[in-house]
Amino acid sequence: MSRKLKGIEPERVFYYFEEITKIPRCSFHEEKISNYLKNFGEKQGFETIQDEALNIIIKKPGYPGYENSPIVVLQGHMDMVCEKEEDSNHDFSKDPLDLKIEGDFLKAEGTTLGADNGIAVAMCLALLESKDIPHPPLEVLLTTKEESGMDGAFTLDSKQIDGRILINIDSEEEGTALVSCAGGERNLVSIPIDWEKSNKDDIAYSIKIAGLQGGHSGMEIHKGRGNANKIISRILAAIKDECDISLASIEGGSKTNAIPRNGSAILCLKREDEKIFTEVIKIVEEQIQNELKTSDPEFKIIIDKIDYKIDKVFSKDSLSKVIAALTLIPTGVQSMSMDIEGLVESSNNLGIVRTLDDKLTIESAIRSSLGSLKKNIAKQIKTVADMVGGQWESYSSYPSWEYKKDSKIREIFRQVYKGQYGKDMNITAIHAGLECGLFKEKFGDIDMISFGPNMSGVHTPEERLSISSTERTYKLLLNVLKEIK
């Protein structure tokens, strides 16, 4: 099979990036990519550790003259968010990504690209195989299940890592280095469903949300993009106010950390209410199109009459409780930082809604740089669950990464960046969660920084990676490592 990225610089980075796009690596399904990395490290002759969580640690001695330099941990995660267009037949469990180049950008046809965080893996592999790049002793740490709650980092044995300088390559804006990040947690609300037989004389419709951009629930939560789950509940509430409806199912989103682009519902109504139903849909669609004309100009509502029999529907009480919960659970930005201009301080993403046999589940991702605000948002969600007779649970909680006043690695990045670009590097914090918060908790006094090349549309099929930015960013990393002696 011919290489699509042949000749693109840095050649070995993109060689390995293309290689890993052929290997399944959705969160919770990292066995093959982890084994690939383990085999790579062993073939290079390096000490290689694969733990029970499938995390990989590969240790490479320092370049001649750097043998006694401080050990540097290069860190990224091997899993990716597996999202695809509705009409895509791609099977993430076996199909290689269909890479394509559009000018300076690399993307995948119909799916996420996995540059978040495959480009970190590729840079690390290129460095590990190199024979002529000066660098201190390296510990390459590639974790699993980062996108689903940082489970790999949670289970990591800190005794397996000796380095006390850590460079995280999981940021998405060239020229910006991150030195602090938000903490977070996932919340699950389960609402019991009482079912009843549908009225045999009712007609049925499907409602689908289309045209939303979605996006990363940390990096892009402040952009005001539509949330398909909130929109579906708003539509149902509006229809319910005007006519008698029954709900057969409601679904939306696929990842808690991705702003949901798609949502759908199947409902039944009396034949005489069909005109009112379509009029309400039109009014709500026009209202939301006006509200989202800048953030989601392609938004639309698609309705189709269903010709098959709907056997059962939610009871009226269950329908009211579901609409209430979806309406009241907060989503989007909840507070802005008063210390760092433009930084989101806390948020919630109502990411996934599922109709199951006996309940409806709602999953959310909370983020906050302040633990007290994170707890308060969780309390709001729990209160809603209590109001509708549902169950609430919290999972995958991870700490924030607080700013370190004195940082040698930060100063090295500043100096090297200024020399390479002729301008100052932007040093800031981020609302998205990074594994650095967990590493600080595990390793204690560790000096960390996060950086990466330009990407956009991460966690969506519109994900793109800048080729030229990747080349410059990799050069920056090599120049930084050269200075750690």
User: 3-state SS string over the chain?
Assistant: CCCCCCCCCCHHHHHHHHHHCCCCCECCCCHHHHHHHHHHHHHCCCEEEECCCCCEEEEECCCCCCCCCCCEEEEEECCECCCECCCCCCCCCCCCCCEEEECCEEEECCECCCHHHHHHHHHHHHHHHCCCCCCCCEEEEEECCCCCCCHHHHHCCHHHCCCCEEEECCCCCCCEEEEEECEEEEEEEEEECCEEECCCCCEEEEEEEECCCCEECCCCHHHCCCCHHHHHHHHHHHHHHHCCEEEEEEEECCCCCEECCCEEEEEEECHHHHHHHHHHHHHHHHHHHHHCCCCCCCCEEEEEEECCCCCEEECHHHHHHHHHHHHHCCCEEEEECCCCCCCEEEEEEEEEEEECCCEEEEEEEEEECCHHHHHHHHHHHHHHHHHCCCEEEEEEEECCECCCCCCHHHHHHHHHHHHHHCCCCEEEEECCCCCHHHHHHHHCCCEEEECCCCEECCCCCCCEEEHHHHHHHHHHHHHHHHHCC
pLDDT of residue 149: 82
Active-site choice (83, 146, 151, 296)? 146
pLDDT of residue 166: 98
Q: Do domains 11-182+400-483 and 185-398 have the same CATH topology?
A: no
CATH, range 11-182+400-483: 3.40.630.10
Domains of the chain, by residue range, sit at 11-182+400-483, 185-398
Taking 70 as the pLDDT cut, the residues of the chain under it are 1
pLDDT of residue 1: 60
pLDDT of residue 433: 82
pLDDT of residue 396: 86
Let me know if 98 is a catalytic residue. Answer: no
Let me know if 345 is a catalytic residue. Answer: no
CATH, range 185-398: 3.30.70.360
pLDDT of residue 404: 87
pLDDT of residue 234: 98
pLDDT of residue 148: 85
Active-site choice (79, 116, 172, 173)? 79
